[in-house]
Structure formats: structure tokens, C-alpha cells
Homo-oligomer: A and B are copies of this chain.
Amino acid sequence: MTAEQFADLAADALFGALEDPALNSMNFLNEVASHYPDAIALAAGRPTEEFFDLADVHRYLRGFCRYLETELGRTPEQVRRTVLQYGRTKGIIHELVAENLRLDEGIEVDPESVVVTAGCQEAMFLVLRALRADERDVVLAVAPTYVGLTGAARLVDLPVRPVRTGDRGVDLDDLAAVVRRERAAGRRPRACYVMPDFANPSGLSMDLATRRRLLDLAAAEDLLLLEDNPYGLFHGDSDRIPTLKALDEHRRVVYLGSFAKSGLPGARVGYVVADQRVAAGDGSVGLFADQLSKVKSMVTVNTSPIAQAVVGGKLLAHGGRLTDANTRERDLYARNLRRVVDGLAARFPHDPEVTWTVPAGGFFVVVTVPFPVDDRLLESSARDYGVLWTPMGHFYDGVADVRSLRLSVSVVPGDLIDLGLDRLTALINDRRDRSPVPVGRGRLADGAPDDR
């Protein structure tokens, strides 16, 4: 009797992308982590739990309800309904989100262009679903690319074309070249996904001049930019650079917002700002946000109003800003980042074979090594060396030979970083002794490796 005979469904009769690495990435990484709970976690991109307090949830909920009553003049019955009943598809904290964007980011948007989502992941899905009209459409993404973008694109059969990251967060020449190449092949590049601040996974940021040139290029090429900004508040000691959306004069930017790192991950609340004007065949003009809202009504109906109330309450508790609310977190991440970068410098001095990025903020450092880094190596690292990290292959869609790994500094206890780096160093040195190979493939500065 074969497995087939025992089974109710055959995998090959299901959605093909279920077997795609992009859709299996998160599960695989979580599984390795859960099998080796004692390994030092330089892998997870979760925010620190150090300042979590369950009492905050109650406090935020009460604060939001008080705001509805006193600021918005709602009756107690209306407050109950707002928080406990089905709600507005685009959300109930859109005005607070718009106010937060004004205060924290200098972004001025009509609250009606905000769609509050079940985490930023849903925001990505909604945008890609709405943009994908037919098989000619493609989305561009600076590579290495957050796997959630690639996975969401898979769900709507939208190919992702990599753009080199260069040393400024996006290689504009390559972007222009990819757009031209795709158009010449009869395809329609609809948008380019970018994370200008402390990108996941590269850690790189775009300087102001690059941002402006990127906006100009997007306007010239009639391309939307999907700006994802989960890490902007964690800028260490560096000055903040305006987001693309803050610089966006021609509505080229769809802004993807997350409260998972700056608010509370357990609320699973994110949002998208989509102020683009959409012309219908009948001459009417509406907001892109309202198109996304239609998709949302068939994915999650509306984002949990209770969860929104918690995030709204946190915003209210801090005068609408999340900058001050994250001072402790920002300091902790910056301290950990310094420890990792200094620790790598101490362990690999003048070593041309082992290099790494030195981000000014965010959660991530990318280490380039002289041998292929794959999932098997991660398992060996977890089992034999007791240290977890993320193979960069997960962020290079479909590329086999990637020679770098991502370290995350957000959840590792600061006093374990040195031990974690010792273990990683042992792995790197053991491995390169065993299999010396030429340097240089899959280096971060190449963006997508050459054989894309």
C-alpha cells in the first residue's frame, strides 16, 4: 500500500506554488528554530520582548474607547459597536494612522487613502492582487527581497524580477535596464518593491539623493514604488532620511506600514497608504485605496477592531507618535547592532573572504562567506554549533548558489551575542577549511547574483 492510497489529496493537484521555496521559507525557518530552542537566535526578525507588558493591552483598549467617547463624541453604545461589531473595511484607526504619519514621518495623507490591514503582509497581498491584471504583468523588487513580498506575489501568479541593490539600496541603472528589458519582452512592470530604510535582509539604506532619483525614475518610467518601512524608527544614532512617501509629489509611492515592530506584533495590524487616483471607464475617479478595500472585503472583511483599538490606544498613549514610544527599543537594537559589527571585526580582521554590511540601524547584518550557504548548513549550525541565522538564499528568489547569511540582532540577549559570534566563527572557519572555493559569488553588492 503506497502513501497515495492512504491519502485524500495529491499535492500535484493543488496550487503549484505550495511547493515553491518562497511559500515554505517561513515554515522551514520556524521549524529549525523550534527544533533547537537552546541555539542562540541570530535568526528571527521579531521585535524584542523585553518591554512587553500585558497590562498595556488593557490600558490601550481603554484609552481608545475613551478617545472615541471624549474626542469623537460617540455614545457608549457606539463605542461598543465600533470595537466589538464588524467594522469599516478600510479600518477604524485610519485617522490616527494618518496623524501618526504626519507626526513621525512628515507624510501628509487623506485618512481615506489609508487601508488598515491584518498586518503589513495583507497590505502587500492587496496591492499585488489589485495590480496583477493579466499574465503580462510583473513586479520588480530590489534583491535580496523580503520573502513575504515574493510569497504574496506567488499567490497571485505575479512574477518577481530582481533589481540589483548596489551599495545605495537600489541600482538605478539596473532598475531602468530591467524595466526596458521587460517592456521589450512584452511585459508590464507595474511597480518596484523597495525598503529604503535598513532593508530586510540587506540592512542597507538609500541616501536622500538616491531616493529623489528613484522617484524621478519611477515618474519617468510610469512605475509605482511600493515602499515598505518597518524599520525606519530604529535608526540608531543616525539622522532619519525622509521616506519616499514624504518626498512623493506625484503619487508614485504606495506606502506599506507596519505596527509589528513599533506597535505590538500580537495585534497584527498594518496598513497601506494608496492615494493614487484611479480612473474608471465611466470617467469617474476614485482612490486606489478603495480598490484595495474591495479586495480586502474578500480576504479578511475587516481588520479586527479589537486589535486596531489596541494599536490606536498605543498611538494615543504617546500623543500620536511612535518615535518616543520606541526609544528603549531603538537603543537596544543599536547597541546589539554595534556588538555584532564590532564582534565580527574582532573575529575576522583583514579577512578578505569574510565581509559584512555595517548598517546604521534596523535589525540585520549580512555576512558574506567563501562557501555556499544553504538550509542544510543552517541545520548543521543549529545542531552542531548552537547558533541560528538565516541563509540569504531565502531572499534571492530561485537562485541556488548564495554565499551569505543574515544575522538579526532584535531578539538575541545582548550578553549572548559574543558567544553566538564565537559559534558562528567556528562554523565559518571549519567550513572554509573543508571546502575552499573562489570568493565573490552572491555578494550583497551584486544585488541579484549574476546568473539570475
Contact = CB atoms under 8 A, between A and B. Distances in A.
A412 interface: no
Contacts of A297: 23, 26-27, 151
Contacts of A310: 306
A85 B288 contact: no
A316 B241 CA distance: 48
A121 B266 contact: no
A266 B87 contact: yes
B279 A6 contact: yes
Given A298-B23, A306-B310, A9 B121 contact: no
Given A58-B61, A84-B49, A133-B16, A11 B279 contact: yes
Interface in A256-276: 260, 264-269, 276
Given A3-B283, A9-B278, A11-B280, A291 B81 contact: no
Interface string A94-133: 0000000000000000000000001101100100011111
A277 B7 contact: yes
A89 B6 contact: no
A18 B300 contact: no
How many identical chains are in the complex?
Answer: 2
A260 B86 contact: yes
A281 interface: yes
A53 interface: yes
A119 B297 CA distance: 11
A24 B294 CA distance: 6
A57 interface: yes
Interface in A55-92: 57-58, 61, 65, 77, 79-81, 83-87, 89
A284 interface: yes
Interface in A365-412: none
A46 interface: yes
Interface in A28-48: 30, 46-47
A121 B27 contact: no
Given A57-B84, A266-B306, A298-B148, A15 B133 contact: yes
A129 B154 CA distance: 11
B9 A265 contact: no
A252 B281 CA distance: 44
Interface of A: 2-4, 6-16, 18-19, 22-24, 26-27, 30, 46-47, 49, 52-54, 57-58, 61, 65, 77, 79-81, 83-87, 89, 118-119, 121-122, 125, 129-134, 148, 151-152, 154-156, 188, 250-252, 260, 264-269, 276-281, 283-285, 288, 290-291, 293-295, 297-307, 310
7 contacts: A14-B131, A15-B133, A26-B297, A57-B83, A85-B266, A267-B304, A306-B307
Q: Which 10 A-B pairs have the closest CB atoms?
A: A151-B298, A7-B279, A268-B304, A84-B266, A8-B276, A118-B300, A266-B305, A304-B307, A23-B294, A11-B280
